[in-house]
Amino acid sequence: LAKTTQPISMDSYEGQEVNITCSHNNIATNDYITWYQQFPSQGPRFIIQGYKTKVTNEVASLFIPADRKSSTLSLPRVSLSDTAVYYCLVGGPNSGNTGKLIFGQGTTLQVKP
């Protein structure tokens, strides 16, 4: 399973765009990249998933370069409520259904007023 590396923590201010980069140098050909968000005292919540190029939904964008060895989660105009831990996960199709997801330590994002 591909190992991921992401910053332990990041600070930002309300209204700014936040980019969190995750490295996954040994990603396999059929691996997907998935990001989860976890608020204090809650379980993680799926944000976005992608395989290559760019994916966008109502919450975030995910940028994946051609070599797929890294990915960047982009949160537009963050607010205080975006303060959370963000996890980058890499796994093959159906990893979520087969217990193969690996949650690392994640990136703790602190949004300040």
Partner 1 sequence: DVKVTQSSRYLVKRTGEKVFLECVQDMDHENMFWYRQDPGLGLRLIYFSYDVKMKEKGDIPEGYSVSREKKERFSLILESASTNQTSMYLCASSGLAESTDTQYFGPGTRLTVL
Are β-strands 107-112 and 84-91 bridged in parallel, bridged antiparallel, or unpaired? antiparallel
Q: How far is it, in rounded angstroms, from Cα 55 to Cα 100?
A: 23
The answer to whether residue 105 forms part of the interface with partner 1 (CB under 8 A) is yes
Q: Yes or no: say if 4 and 26 are a contact pair by the CB < 8 Å rule.
A: no
Among 16, 49, 74, 108, binds partner 1 (CB under 8 A): 49
Instruction: Output 29 or 94, the one with its CB closest to partner 1.
Output: 94
Instruction: Output 6 or 12, the one with its CB closest to partner 1.
Output: 6
CA 61 from chain centre, in angstroms, equals 10
| Three-class SS state of 71 | strand
The answer to whether residue 51 forms part of the interface with partner 1 (CB under 8 A) is no
The answer to whether residue 103 forms part of the interface with partner 1 (CB under 8 A) is yes
Q: How far is it, in rounded angstroms, from Cα 15 to Cα 111?
A: 9
The answer to whether residue 44 forms part of the interface with partner 1 (CB under 8 A) is yes
Q: Yes or no: say if 91 and 2 are a contact pair by the CB < 8 Å rule.
A: yes
Rounded to the nearest whole angstrom, what is the least distance from the CB of residue 102 to partner 1 in the complex? 8
- Binders of partner 1 among residues 14 to 43 (CB under 8 A) are 34, 41-43
Summarize as ranges the residues that interact with partner 1 (CB under 8 A). Answer: 34, 41-46, 49, 87, 93-99, 101-106
